[in-house]
Amino acid sequence: MLRVALLTALAMLAFAGNSLLCRAALRDGGIDASSFTALRLGSGALVLCLLVLLRGQGRLQGDWRSALALFGYAAGFSFAYIELDAGSGALLLFGAVQASMLGYGWLHGERLRPLQSLGLASAVGGLLLLLLPGASAPPLHAALLMLLAGIAWAIYSLLGRGNRDPLAATAGNFLRSLPALLPLAFLYREQLQWDSLGALYAVLSGALASGIGYAIWYAALPHLRALQAASVQLSVPIIAAVAGSLLLGEQLSLRLMVAAVAVLGGIALILQVKAKGRAQV
Domain boundaries, the chain: 2-280
Q: Give pLDDT tens digits for 46-86.
A: 999 999 998 877 788 989 999 999 999 999 999 999 999 99
pLDDT of residue 92: 92
pLDDT at site 172:
94
Segment 138-158 shows an average pLDDT of 92
Range from 112-116, 123-127, 210-214, 251-255 carrying the lowest mean pLDDT:
112-116
Closest CA to 117 of 278, 267, 257, 237: 267
pLDDT at site 35: 96
Structure confidence at residue 183 (pLDDT): 95
User: Looking at the predicted structure, is the pLDDT value of residue 281 above 50?
Assistant: no
* Average pLDDT for 206-214: 93
* pLDDT at 207 exceeding the cut of 60: yes
The pLDDT of residue 90 is above 80: yes
Residue 6 has pLDDT above 80, yes or no: yes
pLDDT in tens, 239-250: 999 999 999 998
Listed range (6-15, 81-90, 102-111) with the worst mean pLDDT: 102-111
